[in-house]
Amino acid sequence: MVHTTYTYKFILIVFKIQGLLDIKFYFKLLMLGILNLFTISMDVNTRYQSFLNQLRSAPALRKTELIYHTPFELLIAVILSAQCTDKRINLCTPALFQAFPTPEKLSKASFEAVFAYIKSITYPRSKTTYLLETARLLVTEFQGVVPNAIADLQTLPGVGRKTAHVVASILYDAPVIGVDTHLFRVAKRIGLASYASKTPFKVEQELMRYLPTEQVQAANQWMLLHGRYICVARKPRCNQCTITNFCNYFQNNQHDI
Ligand code: SF4
């Protein structure tokens, strides 16, 4: 898509130089545009095909690295994991879940009591408020059960689109994608999403357009773990990567890697 942008900037400059009267020139311009779009579309399709092929041969992955035993515990762990590592969350949740194993128990807890269990994670004050409010709503609106509809999940404090998708995917096998910071980066580097997509929602839309429904979850989890351990933010570990043959970033930067 970056390629597309540059191509059209170039075309616009030529357009200004050429003047406004040459019909043949307009025709050539139109043909070039169509050819360019066709080429880009072919590239994306080929890249998705390569990605899906490698996904089929990859070992099955766990749905999450967060430790939980009930849907309620998963929901709480995912809320806590926003902008924090799963490793850190797994250190504090066992004691939290032991003290407050159900929405009913958590909804009756004091702010200070909950805060004490999660003070070592990111944004502990906001997250304490989210947990207490979410527990209260689960009790009053959902009979103490984690809802399976994404729209219902998103009514819970601390549950945005990404969190709702992660929970629905893990608990209810919903074919949805939770675009976190790793997935956002990895999808663009591989070339499955465009650098022009500036928001997680845009990246999600691009992925959902091309991924077959039955491979959405596997693709989601593979990219997330790949971003966490191999395609890390600062310097991707391309020498350990199995998809260099179709990764857009690698193909454009291999001389610098
Ligand atoms: S080749 Fe490098 S940039 Fe591409 S996905 Fe692998 S680690 Fe990331």
pLDDT in tens, the chain (257 residues): 444 445 545 555 555 555 544 556 555 545 444 444 443 444 899 999 999 999 999 998 999 999 999 999 999 999 999 999 999 999 999 999 999 999 999 999 999 999 999 999 999 999 999 999 999 999 999 999 999 999 999 999 999 999 999 999 999 999 999 999 999 999 999 999 999 999 999 999 999 999 999 999 999 999 999 999 999 999 999 999 999 999 999 999 876 76
243 ligand 1 Cβ < 6 A:
yes
Best residue among 244, 246, 256 to mutate for probing ligand 1's pocket (most ligand atoms within 8 Å of CB) is: 244
DSSP string, 41-103: HHHHHHHHHHHHHHHHHSPP--S-SS--SSHHHHHHHHHHTTTS-HHHHHHHHHHHHHH--SH
Active-site option among 152, 162, 173, 235: 162
Instruction: Check if the beta carbon of residue 241 is closer than 8 Å to that of residue 247.
Output: yes
Domain ranges of the chain: 1-37, 71-172, 181-256
82/68 Cα distance (integer angstroms): 16
Look up 180 and say whether it is catalytic: yes
222/154 Cα distance (integer angstroms): 25
**The CATH classification of domain 71-172, taken from the options 1.10.10.10, 3.60.20.10, 3.40.47.10, 1.10.340.30:** 1.10.340.30
250 ligand 1 Cβ < 6 A:
yes
Q: Which CATH architecture has domain 181-256?
A: Orthogonal Bundle (1.10)
227 ligand 1 Cβ < 6 A:
no
Token pair for 116: 């004490």
48/104 Cα distance (integer angstroms): 45
190 ligand 1 Cβ < 6 A:
yes
Instruction: Check if the beta carbon of residue 81 is closer than 8 Å to that of residue 66.
Output: yes
- Strand, helix or coil for residue 160: coil
